[in-house]
Amino acid sequence: MKSKALLAMAVLSASVLTCVTPPAEAEVLLRGQRAVTWKDFLGVNVQFQYFASQVYDKQMTRLDELGLNWIRWTLHWPVLEPVLGQYNLTDLDAAMSAARLHNYNTVAYMVGSPTFASSAPQGATNPGQYPPRDNSLFAQRMTALAGHYPQVSHWQVWNEPNIVWLPQADPVAYYQLLTTTASAIRSALPGKPIVTAGVAYYGQVRGSTRSMLQSMVDQGLASQDIIAAYHPYSEYPEGDSVTDRDFLTLANTLNKSLHDAGVSQVWATEWGWSSYSGPVEMQHLVGVDGQADYTLRRLAMMSTMDYQRIFLFNLSDLDQRASVRDRSYGLLDLDGEPKPVYTALKNFLDVTGPTLQPADPPPATSMPADLFAIAWDKPDGTHLLMAWSASSAPLNLPGITTATLYDPLTGNRRDLADAKGVTMPLAATLQVLAWKP
């Protein structure tokens, strides 16, 4: 989760994000743009090599129980090569070997500059946040990793350079690093897919009206056949402003802009919420229950949007090497045990099944102004309506006489029946109504 202040201060490029804020008091009825198969659409971020083998084995088992298959793996260059020519791959090799048995579709990104390769000035305390002095050396190391770990299907170049790079973000320099690395990997491994760095938020660059994603498009990204990626973190599932629903506005407009420019795939390679208890560090405190609630609502919205793939951050909580906030984004705790967000996600996926087809919502006699609703069909003919409303006003559905109401957060279910049409009780959290004609 990155600072909301950065999002507020950035002025987004009009050529990328020309948008009109929707009315604050109007229901939002979303419709999927295509069928969704969760194991192909939803992935998770992982750092298996930083855990004992018995813990990451448990993490993998928990992931398999969700029925998901895509993982995004973090690799830190300063950890893998702390000294020029001296490699530290033992833990990573073991974790990669264990993961290979699960046949995951794997995306890996390398980030950070070791001291010997960093462009940081003499005496800098954080050389890893500076870009490498020599793009070709970075490209060489990523190419070597790609050859060493053939199970990694996609390689992503760096992470969040628009807010991490020091002394300041440089879209032109980053694009040169990206294309140099892509060319090197593809020369050694023809056809290997490449992904841009997942840029923070929507690609804003401090002190500039230009988006890093727009800069990459202007420099020829579409002609490179490279997947575009960004990290749409926000305070709430609907955005930084719930009433304005700015996540939907900004992300839909950005995705359309990228696709219209010729970028074939757009991924959200990080999103999620931390369950940390403080001290407050950028994100307000939501706790373990808020994390579960926010995750389901955002997932429901993202499944309707023009993303080709999305990755939750994170499969597991992290240890003290991460910041206080970053330690608690996991679906699982440090021992590999489920947190409420894991249980809620499992309940949700059990109700929806593996694949959904877009559908139109059923007729309703009244809709609360703050309603969010999404309709889907399951392959067996079951209709689903996912809905929430902060006002908790009920939703009357005259065309449905019997249905089952599911609450994924609690695992509870209720059978509803009314010859005049069932009334769906709404809550501020996501509820799922299921019925057959």
CATH at residue 178: 3.20.20.80
In whole angstroms, how far apart are CA 307 and each of 109, 256, 266?
Answer: 19, 10, 5
Residues 191 and 273 in one domain: yes
- 366 vs 292: CA distance, rounded Å: 28
Picking from 339, 354, 369, the residue at the C-terminal end of a domain is 354
4 in any annotated domain: no
263 in any annotated domain: yes
Instruction: State the pLDDT at residue 22.
Output: 47
Residues 70 and 93 in one domain: yes
Instruction: State the pLDDT at residue 435.
Output: 98
Q: How confident is the model at residue 242 (pLDDT cuts 50, 70, 90)?
A: confident
Residue span of the structural domain in which 40 resides: 36-354
Number of folded domains that form the chain: 2
- Mean pLDDT (the chain) is 93
Residues 321 and 385 in one domain: no
Residues 87 and 145 in one domain: yes
232 in any annotated domain: yes
pLDDT of 20 strictly over 60: no
Residues 278 and 137 in one domain: yes
Picking from 354, 386, 421, the residue at the C-terminal end of a domain is 354
Residues 282 and 308 in one domain: yes
Tell me the average pLDDT across 129-158: 98
17 in any annotated domain: no
pLDDT digits (tens, 9 = 90+) for 357-405: 999 999 999 899 999 999 999 999 999 999 999 998 899 999 999 999 9
Q: How confident is the model at residue 25 (pLDDT cuts 50, 70, 90)?
A: low
19 in any annotated domain: no
Residues 117 and 228 in one domain: yes
Picking from 354, 370, 404, the residue at the C-terminal end of a domain is 354
296 in any annotated domain: yes
pLDDT digits (tens, 9 = 90+) for 32-87: 999 999 999 999 999 999 999 999 999 999 999 999 999 999 999 999 999 999 99
25 in any annotated domain: no
- 209 vs 15: CA distance, rounded Å: 11
Residues 177 and 297 in one domain: yes
305 in any annotated domain: yes
